[in-house]
Structures are given as structure tokens and as C-alpha cells.
Amino acid sequence: VCESMEEKRPKREKVVVVPRSAADEQRFKIERMMAEPERPVVIPEPRKPRAPRPPPEFNFDVMGSSAGAGSGEFHIYRGIRRREQNRLKWIDTQAAQDEKDEDFRHRLENKKREDDEKTAKKRAKRQSQPVNRLVTTESTQQLPTQCLKEHTLYMYMHVLGSLSLSLSL
């Protein structure tokens, strides 16, 4: 039974292709992705920065790096100090990032408001201008046909005139 199943199944030979450059690697990835266009592409969300642990509320073992502390106490003190410094640095970077985001949002709002004002001003100017009409009679539907006939006649005369000038030279 196993032999008959193996015979029926087509054997696929895997071709190992080694990319020679970053462009080759990207091309292979795109080719593999485009081989199955119905398959959904998963785009992962960017990682959120990990917040440090909050500091302990009470630290009863208060010690420093000065005399009187044991040899092992100094390493504990350094660890606590390092974690606190990292937490303060993270708070500062978050505050700076929030400030930049707020500044960007304000600039975006100002730019949008200025663009809307310009658009409204130009719209008002456009709407206040009088619309020039060539003919205000009831025969406005015949005007495009008349203009087209006159334009065509003018073009024929222009072409014939240039031909007669070139023939006379």
C-alpha cells in the first residue's frame, strides 16, 4: 500500500538557490510570495517599547556604596541604582517622544487649517468672478456647431494658403 502511494504522488525536487546579494534575497522572497497571490500576506505589527518595572514602594534594605556595607551589598545597590536609572531614562524618552508627537500634531493641524483657508479664499474668488458668455440668446445650442464649422473652414483656408505658398516657392 505504501509503495503504491509513493508511486502516485509526484516527487518534487527542491532546488536550493543561494542568494548572492540582498537584492537576490529580496527577489526570491517576492517571487515566492507572488507564486500564490490568493494567500494573505501577514504584516507583523511593530514592537511596542517595553516599559520598565515600577520601583518598589518600600525598600527596607537601604544601603549605599559607602563604608559599613558588606561586600555583597554593593552589587545589590548597583543593581537597584541601574534599574532606577533605566526607569528614569525611559520616562525621559517617553516624555520627549510625547512632546515630539504633540508638536507634529500641532504642525499638521496648522498646515491643514492654512490649506483650508487658502482653498476657501480661492473658491470665493472663483465664485465671485463673472462668467463670460458669448451669446445670451435662445440659440445657444447652435453655437458650438457654428463655431466648429467656422473653425474647420478657417483651418482649410490656412492649409490651402500654406500649400499655395509652398508651391509658388
Which parts of the chain sit beneath pLDDT 50? 1, 134-135, 137, 139-140, 165-169
Residue 19 near residue 25, CB atoms below 8 Å: yes
What is the residue-averaged pLDDT of the chain?
77
Residue 150 and residue 135: Cα distance in Å, rounded?
A: 16
61's CB contacts (< 8 A; 6+ apart) are: 76
Residue 151 and residue 9: Cα distance in Å, rounded?
A: 75
Residue 49 and residue 94: Cα distance in Å, rounded?
A: 10
**How much is the pLDDT for 135?**
45
DSSP state of 70: -
What confidence tens digit (pLDDT) does each residue in 115-139 have? 999 999 999 998 887 765 544 545 4
Q: Which of 43, 52, 17 is nearest to 32 (CA)?
A: 17
Q: Is 0.75 surpassed by the pTM of this model?
A: no
Going from the C-alpha of 26 to that of each of 18, 33, 133, 139, the distances in angstroms are 12, 11, 60, 66
Residue 70 and residue 76: Cα distance in Å, rounded?
A: 10
Residue 136 and residue 125: Cα distance in Å, rounded?
A: 24
